[in-house]
A and B are shown apart, each in its own frame.
Chain A
């Protein structure tokens, strides 16, 4: 998943990064094919160049290696809101076929949920304002649902025309990268379709682990397995992170 997400980033892009898998992927891309990738963390560090994986979005390493460090109001108002950032990475607890994301509550109702999740963070505005969005999430019946319990961040709403109607300036989610492969929106219906599978993953396995009637592209791409250089770089990062934990 991490390698797949890293491959989705092109050199020179500006990328809004959260901690966890997005941060690993963005740093992997920077260490391999995209050395000029500009990493922007919501803590206000612009152009951070960490030598190892940061422990949190506020890691001192990010501030010390950044081109600029700005306040939190500024990172959202001057940098994200006007659409200066090419790509935003998001995770999800639930995602639906139009790429709407829930990270707020699951089950019950809002005042007495079955599961209370962390909430919105920077995600709603990342989803609204980045030129495009990549979602990284494990594929399962529980996370890939017909309709999310709560719309924390908007994908394509209820279909074509919704983003324009809502005044969302970015183009929306272009890819969902999972542990089975990659989904992309159908050009007409905007419904997410499985367009790529990892070697050895069958279309039926992907359908089984999806809570809506998943469409599969006529000839889904078989995604290349991680190259040795990618794996080396990833292990190097993970090694430094493990050491920094001690």
Chain B
């Protein structure tokens, strides 16, 4: 049965260094607050899994939390590149990033296989593409040697003889999603564009669900996905936890944040300033967040009483400050 805890406790108990973590939400209900908490708790060597890495993984990758990324489309939707992702792949900054890439259909089916307890899924896909064998041309020098993709294989249909494609199951250690609501027993309800969240939770050994609100009773919603509390490990009430993505019925996409992120992430120094803000005691920092002093003179909450956030990392230039991940390459 799901335990209802604080976000900090959920991340602390569910996500460990070296885990394979799937934070899902297909442009809607992206669990940003949970991602930021993972950065604050300085997890490292994570294998990050997500169909659309988006800003949330750009932030985690830039902060040095990831060793590997498994994905199908890595861009800033409607804006451009993910600069921290590109810097990691092209220049190994702040740490080298291994990648494993698929198409959306392949990733979706890998989650389906994971949720179904099967070792692989079958689809019509990938035929004729280099995703199968990761071959590229070194212009002028002929084809580079092919590397076989370890998670994509041809398979023959035992009934028709047709050649199809098998993709291996994804079984993350932890799934992290954001939902609109949960009840006091930890039953989770999400609606609107529900993406691949159900499959991600059911494929994973553990799960963390942040929710906009916890209610006495979940009244039915058209098209809602309900995850019974016994399929979920931790529920954390986190209003606005999907910001800057949107939560249907609660908040709209903060498009200015997506646009502003392009400028922040483009240079290491501006990214480090953003990270410094994230670690600062008021614990927010992204553009569009409330100002330090809210109207009426109240300050946003700092860390829960009895807890302290990790010390602020030093501001730096191009060199990644060692304290975030304990090693500089």
CA distance A105 to B134 in the complex (A): 10
- A149 near B137: Cβ-Cβ < 8 Å: yes
- Chain B positions within 8 Å of A58 at CB level: 26-28, 77, 193, 195, 245-246
Interface check A73, CB cutoff 8 A: yes
Is A81's CB under 8 angstroms from B124's CB?
A: yes
Nearest residue, chain A, Cβ from B111? A73
How many Å from the CB of B71 to the closest CB on chain A?
7
The reply on A152 being an interface residue by CB < 8 A is yes
| Given contact pairs A69-B192, A104-B130, A109-B138, A125 touches B103 in the complex (Cβ within 8 A) | yes
The answer to whether A56 touches B103, judged by C-beta atoms less than 8 angstroms apart, is no
Is B108 a contact partner of A57 (Cβ separation < 8 A)? no
Partner of B112, one of A73, A107, A167: A73
Chain A 129-156 interface mask (CB, 8 Å, partner B; 1/0): 1000000000000000001011111100
Residues of B within 8 A of A50 (CB): none
B319 to chain A, nearest CB (A): 22
Give the residues from 188 to 221 in chain B that come closer than 8 angstroms, CB to CB, to chain A.
192-196, 198-199
B327 is an interface residue with CB less than 8 A from chain A: no
Inside 8 A of A125's CB, which chain B residues have their CB?
A: 103-105, 123-125
Q: How far is the CA of A57 from the CA of B86 in the complex (A)?
A: 22
Counting CB contacts under 8 A, is B163 at the interface? yes
Q: Would you give the 0/1 interface string for B51-78, flagging 1 where the beta carbon is closer than 8 Å to chain A?
A: 1100000000000000000011111011
In contact, A166 and B138 (Cβ under 8 angstroms): no
What's the minimum C-beta distance from A108 to chain B, rounded to whole angstroms? 7
Find A72's partner among B101, B104, B253, B259 (CB 8 Å cutoff). Answer: B104
Q: Which residues of A contact B162 (CB under 8 A)?
A: 167
Interface size in chain B (residues, C-beta < 8 A): 63
Partner of A19, one of B77, B90, B129, B248: B77
- Whether A245 contacts B163 by the Cβ 8 Å rule is no
CB <8 Å contact, A63 and B130: no
Instruction: Quote the shortest CB–CB distance from B286 to chain A (angstroms).
Output: 18
Partner of B195, one of A60, A71, A119, A151: A71
Q: Which of A47-82 contact B (CB under 8 A)?
A: 55-60, 62-64, 69, 71-73, 76-77, 80-81
Binds B, one of A38-46, A192-200, A219-227: A38-46
Q: Which residues of A contact B253 (CB under 8 A)?
A: 55-56, 59-60
Chain B, residues 103-130, CB within 8 Å of chain A (1/0): the string is 1110011011000000000011111111
Q: Does A20 contact B (CB under 8 A)?
A: yes
B223 contacts the other chain (Cβ, under 8 Å)?
Answer: yes
B323 at the interface (CB under 8 A from A): no
Contact (Cβ within 8 A) A124 B28: no
Specify which chain A residues have a CB less than 8 angstroms from the CB of B194 in the assembled complex.
Answer: 44, 69, 71
User: How far is it, in angstroms, between the C-alpha of A208 and the C-alpha of B125 when the chains are bound?
Assistant: 35
Q: Which residue of A lies closest to B80 (CB)?
A: A118
- Residues of chain B contacted by A59 (CB below 8 angstroms): 27, 253
Q: B144 at the A/B interface (Cβ < 8 Å)?
A: yes
- Once A56-B77, A122-B104, A162-B128 are accepted as A-B contacts, the answer to whether A149 and B139 lie under 8 Å apart by CB is yes
Q: How far is the CA of A146 from the CA of B1 in the complex (A)?
A: 58
Cβ of A169 within 8 Å of any chain B Cβ, yes or no, is: yes
Asked if B237 is at the interface (CB within 8 A of a chain A CB), the reply is no
Known: A58-B26, A113-B89, A245-B256. A121 touches B104 (CB 8 A): yes
Return chain B residues, CB-CB under 8 Å to A116.
74, 85-86, 89-90
Q: Are B75 and A110 in contact (CB under 8 A)?
A: no
* Pairwise interchain contact B127-A19, C-beta atoms closer than 8 A: no
Question: Which of A20, A76, A107, A111 has a CB less than 8 Å from the CB of B108?
Answer: A76
Instruction: Look across to chain A and name the residue whose beta carbon is closest to the beta carbon of B28.
Output: A58
* B5 sits at the interface (CB 8 A): no
- Is B147 an interface residue, CB under 8 A from the partner? yes
- Give the CA-CA distance A125 to B28 in the complex, in Å: 22
Q: How far is the CA of A154 from the CA of B196 in the complex (A)?
A: 26
B72 contacts A19, C-beta separation under 8 Å: no
The CA of A69 and the CA of B225, in the complex, are separated in Å by 11
User: Once the chains are docked, how many angstroms separate the CA of A211 from the CA of B52?
Assistant: 31
* Chain B contacts for A44, CB-based, 8 A: 26, 193-195
CA distance A15 to B86 in the complex (A): 31
Task: For A151, give its contact among B128, B138, B256 (CB under 8 Å).
Answer: B128
Q: Are A118 and B74 in contact (CB under 8 A)?
A: yes
Nearest neighbor of B196 in chain A, beta-carbon distance: A72
Instruction: Add 5 more A-B contacts to A73-B196, A76-B109, A147-B137 (CB < 8 A).
Output: A44-B26, A110-B144, A124-B126, A125-B105, A153-B129
Residue pairs across A and B with Cβ atoms less than 8 A apart, 28 shown, are A43-B28, A43-B195, A58-B193, A60-B28, A60-B246, A60-B248, A64-B248, A69-B194, A69-B223, A71-B199, A73-B109, A77-B123, A81-B125, A105-B136, A109-B144, A110-B135, A113-B89, A113-B90, A114-B90, A120-B72, A120-B103, A121-B73, A125-B103, A147-B137, A154-B128, A154-B129, A166-B128, A244-B255
Which positions in A face B, CB cutoff 8 Å?
A: 19-20, 42-45, 55-60, 62-64, 69, 71-73, 76-77, 80-81, 104-105, 107-116, 118-125, 128-129, 147, 149-154, 157, 162-163, 166-169, 244-245
Closest 7 CB pairs of A and B: A58-B27, A118-B75, A121-B73, A154-B128, A76-B105, A73-B108, A58-B28
